Amino acid sequence: MVKLFCAVVGVAGSAFSVRVDESDTVDDLKKAIKAEKTNDFKDIDADKLELYVAKRDGEWLTEADVKSGHHGPRAVGSGAAAGRGPVNVLVMLPEQEHAQTELWLVTGSVDNALNTKEIRCRLYRLAGSYLGYYDPNLRAGETDKALWYDEAMLRIHVLFKEERDALLFENELQTEGIKQTSPLDGHTISTTVAPVSRELSELRRIVALHYVPDDTESPQVSMTSFSSSTSIVDVATDEFKYQRIENDEWFGTVGKAQSCHVMSREHCKKHPSYNNYDNDPSNRLALSAEMHEWFDARSFTVPTLKISVESTSEGFVIGNRYKINLVVRAWNAGFAKLIALRLKDGFVLSDDGLEMRTFVYVQNKKVFCDCMEWKRKETEKKWREYDEMAPAVD
């Protein structure tokens, strides 16, 4: 019998010994190594082990050489007695296939989605909010897809690392189908959730900014127009100080807000009498991203709040600015609570909880009042149209 010292390449502290007959073959040695390290090699067949003679320049490597990854020659001397003796056989494990991890796949569809603006935009936002991923199995080159049109139907195919996130996403989709303020309201939504296996290193996150309104025949062009008419203002600007209806705590530590047109840029450009209003600083409100969505119905069927002018000061109140008293009315009681939570100090809530009175300061009160009156009428028109389309009974 011959005693051979072995070590697994790349695994610290893996030295061990086996005994074989001098007449044994390499296959016999592999079986002996497998038998000696049954637990370590339980998922590896003996014939898959790769064995190499542990010599470099005519000298045996030592256990320390193997542990450190140094495969240069080392003299064998007193080190052998210190547990650093010669290693005769290097054992290399076969390369493992990339590990597959159990994930959760939400698939489904939204019927007649092509006929309604904002649906695909809304789904991108939801997929991003619930930590969704693109499926690498659908990747073509460097192009991913998770939400695409199949004629008038919108297909859904989103991966999640956690079952909980997948179920929450599915639940929110179904809720959107019966939410009055959602673009998915009234659409038939079908979904399924199932476990799948994918390689984690191939996953790519879905974020709302991946939504491109012009990459299909989708009618959802509103995000493009909004992005072209929205700029960012910070805490140092007069617009942020005086034309803001929300508490500054809602704008984060950097104090960033969106400069929102009161009268839309499209309307200003379309009608010559309002051309000058487009770039007028009094045709602006400094809003958070959330309030901007509610004010302009960026991801909802209708605006969820309406603002009207109640009164104005006769003269300047702060510098060259007039005080404008506003009435903010919510679409429903649910949004009223959300809006009231965000308004700056000093607002007054009505008895029914739907109206809140607040104020801003502007340089040109005529421009501001004209623009806000137009916006009020537009919002009321959309509310009426929605009410006329809603069924009289459930």
Alpha carbon of 160 to those of 57, 123, 169, 200: distances in Å? Answer: 53, 15, 9, 11
Does this model's pTM top 0.85? no
**Domain end: 165, 188, 220, which one?**
220
At residue 373, the pLDDT reads 97
Residues 309 and 251 in one domain: yes
Same domain for 158 and 88, yes or no, is: no
Task: Check whether residue 299 and residue 362 sit in a common domain.
Answer: yes
Q: Determine the 3-state secondary structure of 223 from DSSP.
A: helix
Q: Are residues 199 and 240 in the same domain?
A: no
Count of CB atoms situated within 10 Å of the CB of 87: 24
Beta-sheet pairing, 204-205 with 189-198:
unpaired
Asked if 51 and 108 sit in the same domain, the reply is no
61 and 126 within one domain? no
Q: How many domains, in total, are found in the chain?
A: 3
Sign of CA dihedral 172, 176, 179, 182: positive
Give the integer Cα–Cα distance in Å for 394 and 307. 30
Positions of the chain with pLDDT lower than 50, given as ranges: 69-84, 96-98, 216-217, 219-229, 391-394
233 found inside a domain:
yes
What angle in degrees, to the nearest 10, is found between the helix axes of 289-296 and 333-342?
Answer: 140
| CA 291 distance to own-chain centroid | 20
CATH of residue 123's domain is 3.30.70.260
Task: Based on the fold, state whether residues 200 and 247 are members of the same structural domain.
Answer: no
Do 174 and 59 fall within a single domain? Answer: no
Establish if 195 belongs to a structural domain: yes
Of the candidates 199, 220, 241, which is a domain's last residue?
220
In angstroms, the first-to-last Cα distance of the chain is: 88
161 shares its domain with 35? no
pLDDT digit string, tens, across residues 147-200? 999 988 999 999 999 999 999 999 989 988 887 667 888 899 999 999 999 888
The SS3 call for residue 187 is coil
Of 15, 22, 12, 94, the closest CA to residue 54 belongs to 15
Same domain, 74 and 112: no
CATH number at residue 51: 3.10.20.90
Measured CA to CA in angstroms, residue 32 lies from 24, 25, 161, 266 at distances of 10, 11, 41, 80
> Tens of pLDDT along 282-302?
999 999 888 988 898 876 678
258, 213: one domain: no
Last-in-domain residue among 43, 70, 92: 92
What residues have CB less than 8 Å from 350, skipping those under 6 apart? 356, 357
Asked whether residue 357 is domain-assigned, the answer is yes
Helix (H) or strand (E) run with residue 388 in it: helix 365-389
Give the separation between CA 299 and CA 12, rounded to whole angstroms: 56
Residues 348 and 266 in one domain: yes
The answer to whether residue 394 sits within a structural domain is: no
Closest alpha carbon to 244 in 394, 82, 362, 372:
362
Residue range(s) defining the domain that contains residue 234: 229-389
Question: Distance between CA 390 and CA 104 in Å, rounded?
Answer: 36
**Whether 280 contacts 372, CB under 8 Å:** no
Q: What's the token pair of residue 328?
A: 């903010």
**What CA–CA distance (Å, rounded) separates 323 from 315?**
8
Cα 271 to Cα 284: distance, rounded to the nearest angstrom? 18
